[in-house]
């Protein structure tokens, strides 16, 4: 284990320069600015609880300025009517700049969120680069249709030309969480910008730094001012006025179901378009023909990736009773073997959780699990060191009727449960209010194909979990949300369809 100051000494020069500004500013129009009311939020490194930066505590006045800047950039056509090939070129340029500064962004993400920088470089930053490239391509492939119409109530000799046109929806409020700060911002910015929308981005108060760095790269890439605005601040002071602002045409939100419901109600008042990617309690189902060794390794990755702070984390593990003891034993070995440490330490596999509040919340659930009678097979509480570290925890339970099985924990905690037959497990897998992801572990193609349609989840993985791709839409059934991020479906959600009917 290396001391934090040794790790900081090895940071990339760009990271050190960025962190040297003790107070960061937010981007509104072409100005890097403080909050109108002058307040600041402290940004904490969850690995050692030190304050690494201060960012403006944005409020309603800042949100209003940012929305007006985005509105002006949309209405005057500097982005919405720019040639699609120009929008594509700028998005590709942005992807190149992110790739150039991948190490800096990974280190910033690690210090801000706690995750291992090596993983952030490959996953958070690497996937962001590819995602912007994928979405850049859509900018030049937006199309409507020409339609043959009948208009039965008009005289037979009348003729029409009819077509649909796609138009950008307008000004987008993108409100993002702290688990994948850069990547989820990209999930919103990519399709919005490809479609010709302008954006006000509000990063999570716990993790605002990578968005601010991205703002610099957006400027360097040459995006016109006002196309992307970044307002830092907390949910009630900055997020709430942003989503309720009458100048917003669409809200794209990723976060808790609780806040998603609030945003959905506010959006309905203004008829603002809305995409909500919310919580989950995703099942992983191991059939009796599965290889228990592979299934246990898969389960470890499904729940411990990003410390379980993943909305589609495999947090309920259903294992056929034939393999149950073996899979649980192997999973416990994986959990105990994960190297916990500072995100900048190259040896680290599992960093701290994002905040004290989150670590306490997760440990509160671990206590509840014990009180409810679940058995601890691995982990079971805070790691004995400074920082917000929680040990990867495996519970077993015979029943689903526990809070730790029903409620989203959003941490490295899985509950393994045995089952008998496939009808039973299909029913139990669906027996939560959520429906984001599910995975099936089996090589019996016939049973797999019959199970896929029975699972009420936006994504079903087979022999893998947490595998996401720019081309594949991602979102939830039931309380897991509304609409989709990624893929063509996400682009469509930033477009209005206009019908044009011309009497000839
Ligand atoms: P978590 O519980 O995981 O922190 P939240 O749903 O509270 O997730 O937060 C996700 C994002 O939503 C953050 O950027 C947060 O600031 C923002 N947010 C929180 N409350 C509100 C609100 N009432 N209106 C708009 N945004 C909010």
Residue 376 and residue 395 in contact, taking contact as beta carbons nearer than 8 Å: yes
Residue 167 and residue 193 in contact, taking contact as beta carbons nearer than 8 Å: no
Confirm or reject: Cβ of 204 under 6 Å from ligand 1. yes
The pTM of this model reads: 0.97
Closest Cα to residue 47, out of 123, 116, 102, 106? 116
Q: What is the mean pLDDT of the chain?
A: 97
- Could you tell me which residues are beta bridge partners of residue 151? none
Helix/strand/coil (H/E/C) assignment for every residue in 231-295? CCCCHHHHHHHHHHCCCCCEEEEECCHHHHHHHHHHHHHHCCEEEEECCCCEEEEECCCCCHHHH
Residue 439 and residue 284 in contact, taking contact as beta carbons nearer than 8 Å: yes
Which among 311, 312, 363, 492 is annotated as catalytic? 311
From ligand 1's centre to the CA of 191, what distance in Å?
21
pLDDT tens digits, one per residue of 338-391: 999 999 999 999 999 999 999 999 999 999 999 999 999 999 999 999 999 999
- Joined together, the tokens standing for residue 41 give 């939020």
From ligand 1's centre to the CA of 139, what distance in Å?
30
pLDDT tens digits, one per residue of 157-209: 999 999 999 999 999 999 999 999 999 999 999 999 999 999 999 999 999 99
Confirm or reject: Cβ of 234 under 6 Å from ligand 1. yes
Confirm or reject: Cβ of 259 under 6 Å from ligand 1. yes
> Can you tell me which atom of ligand 1 is nearest the CA of 242?
25
Question: Looking at residue 11, what DSSP letter applies?
Answer: S
Question: Does the annotation count 197 as an active-site position?
Answer: no
Residue-wise DSSP of 191-231: HHHHHT-EEEEE--TT--HHHHHHHHHHHHHTPPTTSEEE-
pLDDT tens digits, one per residue of 94-147: 999 999 999 999 999 999 999 999 999 999 999 999 999 999 999 999 999 999
Question: Does the annotation count 408 as an active-site position?
Answer: no
Q: What is the pLDDT of residue 1?
A: 56
Task: Give 6's pLDDT tier (boundaries 50, 70, 90).
Answer: confident
């Amino acid at each position: 284990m290396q001391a934090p100051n040794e790790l900081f000494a090895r940071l990339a020069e760009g990271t050190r320069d960025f962190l040297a500004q003790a107070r960061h500013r937010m981007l509104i129009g072409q100005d890097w600015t403080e909050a109108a009311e002058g307040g600041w939020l402290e940004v904490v490194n969850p690995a050692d609880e030190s304050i690494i930066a201060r960012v403006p505590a944005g409020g309603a006045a800042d949100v209003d300025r940012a929305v007006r800047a985005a509105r002006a950039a949309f209405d005057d056509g500097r982005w919405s009517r720019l040639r699609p090939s120009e929008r594509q070129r700028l998005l590709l340029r942005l992807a190149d700049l992110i790739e150039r500064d991948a190490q800096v962004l990974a280190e910033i993400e690690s210090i801000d969120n706690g995750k291992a920088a090596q993983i952030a470089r490959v996953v958070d930053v690497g996937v962001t680069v590819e995602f912007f490239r994928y979405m850049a391509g859509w900018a030049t492939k937006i199309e409507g249709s020409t339609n043959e119409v009948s208009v039965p109530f008009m005289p037979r000799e009348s003729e029409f030309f009819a077509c649909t046109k796609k138009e950008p929806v307008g000004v987008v409020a993108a409100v993002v969480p702290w688990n994948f700060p850069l990547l989820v911002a990209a999930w919103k910015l990519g399709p919005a910008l490809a479609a010709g929308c302008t954006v006000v981005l509000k990063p999570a108060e716990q993790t605002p730094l990578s968005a601010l760095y991205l703002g610099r790269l957006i400027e360097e890439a040459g995006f016109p001012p006002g196309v992307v605005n970044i307002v830092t601040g907390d949910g009630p002071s900055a997020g709430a006025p942003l989503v309720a602002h009458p100048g917003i045409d669409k809200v794209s939100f990723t976060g808790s179901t609780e806040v998603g419901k609030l945003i959905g109600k506010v959006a309905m008042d203004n008829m603002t378009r809305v995409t909500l990617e919310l919580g989950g309690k995703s099942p992983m189902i191991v059939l009796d023909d599965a290889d228990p060794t592979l299934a246990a390794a898969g389960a470890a990755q499904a729940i411990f990736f990003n410390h379980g702070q993943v909305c589609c984390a495999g947090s309920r593990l259903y294992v056929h009773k034939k393999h149950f003891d073996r899979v649980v034993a192997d999973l416990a070995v994986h959990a105990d073997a994960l190297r916990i440490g500072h995100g900048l330490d190259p040896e680290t596999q599992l960093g701290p959780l994002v905040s004290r509040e989150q670590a306490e919340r997760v440990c509160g659930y671990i206590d509840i699990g014990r009180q409810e009678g679940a058995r601890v097979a691995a982990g079971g509480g805070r790691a004995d060191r400074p920082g917000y570290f929680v040990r990867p925890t495996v519970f077993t339970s015979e029943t689903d009727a526990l809070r730790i099985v029903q409620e989203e924990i959003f941490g490295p905690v899985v509950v393994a449960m045995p089952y008998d037959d496939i009808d039973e497990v299909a029913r139990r897998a669906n027996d939560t209010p959520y429906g984001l992801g599910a995975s099936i572990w089996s090589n019996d193609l016939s049973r797999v194909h019959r199970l896929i349609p029975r699972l009420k989840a936006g994504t079903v993985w087979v022999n893998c979990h947490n595998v996401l791709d720019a081309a594949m839409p991602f979102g939830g059934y039931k309380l897991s949300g509304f609409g989709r991020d990624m893929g063509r479906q996400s682009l469509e959600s930033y477009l209005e369809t206009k019908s044009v009917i011309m009497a000839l």
